[in-house]
Amino acid sequence: MLIGASLKMYFSHARTLAWVREVAGIVAEHPAVAAGVRPFVLPQFPSIPACAEIGAAAGLAVGAQDLAAEDEGPYTGEVSGAVLAEVGCSLVEVGHAERRRLFGETDDVVAAKLAAALRHGLMPLLCVGEDRAGDAAAAVDACLRQIDAAVGPARAAGLTGPVTVAYEPLWAIGAPEPAGPDHIAAVCGALREHGGQAQAVIYGGSARPGMLADIAGSVDGLFLGRFAHDPRAFGAILDESADVLRAQAEVSR
């Protein structure tokens, strides 16, 4: 189970390190991690090396919010997958709706970035989601198109490695409430059944404490946003994760 947060561009470097230290302290002693939860954080680029150093001993994985499609060359301002791996990243976000909307990333760009991540041993967190609230079937169709467009070229090129899909309906990103549990379960369950292109499906889009138990049977974790700005909320979700894993273990006995 993956439980993690993108800090986007909300925190200063100092606040980022303070947040990571506090969360690492929670993670290091939390039974959910021993039970199989993999916690992660995606800070801004300059904070990554220090965060990776803090997180390593606690088992808190660190990733990046973006990467370049190219591995090296005259690409001013870009950061390559090779350098991200070198400074301690193990995963990287690809194709977030804000990257598409604000920076014009197309399906082809997302596919190239996902391939770059796999070339350097980084697990892509591929963000997918529908534009408008509607029925689950339409959402599944939209997400599957995005998954196939992003992952298909990499697989065709022989690139292996795990890919995690982060289902984030665009209409729920930054909203007061996440999508309803029935909608999330229907969409994420269908994406998991699709298999092949992705190894795990997590939910984002105003994900918050208190929702995991309602959708746990259909997701492999949560991708948190602003609700995790308080480290105690991150800890609360780890508490819920431990409860879910404990209940699943009881059922499987």
In 29-106, DSSP assigns E strands to 38-42, 61-64, 91-94
Distance, CA of 60 to CA of 189 (rounded, Å):
27
From the list 152, 90, 88, the residue with the least C-alpha distance to 121 is 90
- The answer to whether the beta carbons of residues 7 and 219 sit under 8 Å apart is no
User: Within 13 Å, how many C-alpha atoms sit on residue 190's CB side?
Assistant: 16
How many other CB atoms are there within 10 angstroms of residue 199's CB atom?
14
From the list 221, 210, 161, 199, the residue with the least C-alpha distance to 4 is 221
Which listed residue (96, 105, 183, 240) is catalytic? 96
96 belongs to the catalytic site: yes
59: tokens are 């088992």
Distance, CA of 134 to CA of 16 (rounded, Å):
36
Can you say whether the dihedral through the CA atoms of 242, 246, 252, 253 is positive or negative?
positive
Which listed residue (120, 168, 183, 240) is catalytic? 168
How many other CB atoms are there within 10 angstroms of residue 88's CB atom?
17
* Enzyme catalytic residues: 96, 168
